[in-house]
């Protein structure tokens, strides 16, 4: 039985929690320990920089430091390792949901490019039909980190009503509740906002579509799924270093004045309430039937 616990910056008696307890070669943030300079588990090699987990600081400046001029270029994840991860060098998705999803089952997904710059934001439903116990199948979407595969990240759903006219974004469980629960097949998809006409092979819109509950997946409006695909495709087309990174789900939405807002401690300015957020590309047309 483990008697110790991981600390936010991975500091535990100067040892890497994951390496020490599980004998893993790759520990905190999935990075390899560099034991030669400062002893066992005291620094990790993140590729472009070395991280000292005793200090919670980098040993060299951030190559993308110009994006956050207010922050020291040596700071790790803007001093909030619970909420943030170090960008993977690929596009990532942050999903913010409310703690009690039986009260408020919606959330906001923010897509950021490999430099950490927001490129798209859309509303999702993260509420399952089986209720609040996220360890259970069909229940609310489990928190944690999911990997977006480099190859075959989008899968076509064909004429299946469940997913709608656009493909699904594949997410592989990596850490957190999703890994602990042994749940699988969690995706981002649209669906249930239209009818499929088999005779014509076309999708027919339903008036005033709602984001219906899922069986654990993240459901978005069809037009948002289409935009997500086009935005990320464009990122990868224009920048050869871009690829699918991670999707992280955190339950940090706060209720303020009857609205659900994303706290952003780095600027002190709350972002627009998630339940007021409209798709930034609301005029985007659906991609149509397959």
Partner 1 sequence: MILKVQIQIQKRQEGIKMNLYILVYTVLASISCSIYNIQKTIDACIAADKVTDYLDNIALNPKLYLTNQNDDCVFKLIDTLRYNSVLGSARSLEVLGLLYRNSDGEISEYFDEIGVEIFYSGFDVFANFIYLHRKDKTKNVEKMIIRGMSFEISMAKNRRMKREDLKKYILNQCKKYKYLKHKTDYLLGIEKQMNPSIFD
Q: Which residues bind partner 1 (CB under 8 A)?
A: 129, 137-138, 155, 160-163, 168, 170, 182-187, 189, 191-192, 195, 206, 210, 212-217
Closer residue to partner 1, CB minimum distance, 100 or 184: 184
Closer residue to partner 1, CB minimum distance, 59 or 135: 135
Closer residue to partner 1, CB minimum distance, 215 or 255: 215
User: What is the rounded CA–CA span in Å between residue 137 and residue 176?
Assistant: 16
For residues 142 and 178, is the Cβ–Cβ distance under 8 A?
yes
Closer residue to partner 1, CB minimum distance, 35 or 129: 129
User: What is the rounded CA–CA span in Å between residue 240 and residue 244?
Assistant: 12
For residues 226 and 203, is the Cβ–Cβ distance under 8 A?
no
Closer residue to partner 1, CB minimum distance, 78 or 179: 179
For residues 253 and 218, is the Cβ–Cβ distance under 8 A?
no
In Å, how far are 108, 186, 207, 261, 264 from 272, measured between CA atoms?
A: 10, 27, 27, 7, 11
Smallest gap from residue 95 Cβ to partner 1 (A): 15
DSSP conformational letter for 55: T
Reduced to 3 states, what is the DSSP secondary structure of residue 205? strand
β partners of residue 121: 110
Q: C-alpha angle 135/112/83, rounded to 5°?
A: 45
């Amino acid at each position: 039985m483990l008697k110790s616990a991981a600390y936010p910056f991975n500091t535990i008696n100067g040892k890497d929690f994951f390496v020490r307890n599980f004998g893993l070669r790759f520990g905190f943030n999935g990075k390899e320990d560099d034991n030669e300079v400062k002893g066992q588990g005291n620094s990790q090699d993140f590729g472009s920089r070395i991280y000292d987990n005793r200090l919670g600081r980098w040993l060299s400046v951030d190559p993308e430091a110009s994006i956050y001029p207010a922050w020291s270029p040596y700071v790790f994840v803007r001093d909030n390792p619970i909420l943030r991860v170090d960008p993977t060098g690929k596009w990532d998705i942050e999903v913010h949901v409310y703690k009690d999803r039986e009260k408020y089952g919606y959330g906001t997904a923010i897509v950021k490019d490999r430099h950490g710059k927001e490129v798209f934001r859309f509303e999702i439903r993260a509420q399952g039909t089986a209720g609040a116990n996220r360890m259970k199948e069909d229940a609310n979407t489990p928190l944690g980190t999911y990997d977006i595969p480099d190859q075959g990240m989008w899968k076509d759903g064909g004429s299946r009503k469940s997913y709608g006219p656009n493909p699904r974004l594949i997410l592989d469980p990596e850490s957190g509740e999703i890994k602990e629960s042994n749940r699988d097949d969690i995706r981002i998809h649209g669906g249930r906002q239209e009818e499929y006409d088999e005779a014509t092979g076309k999708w027919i819109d339903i008036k005033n579509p709602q984001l219906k509950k899922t069986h654990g997946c993240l459901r978005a409006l069809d037009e948002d799924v289409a935009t997500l695909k086009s935005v990320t495709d464009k990122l990868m087309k224009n920048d050869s270093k871009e690829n699918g990174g991670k999707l992280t789900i955190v339950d940090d939405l706060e209720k303020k004045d009857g609205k659900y807002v994303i706290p952003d401690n780095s600027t002190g300015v709350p972002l627009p309430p998630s339940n007021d957020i409209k798709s930034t590309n609301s005029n985007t047309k659906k991609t149509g039937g397959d």
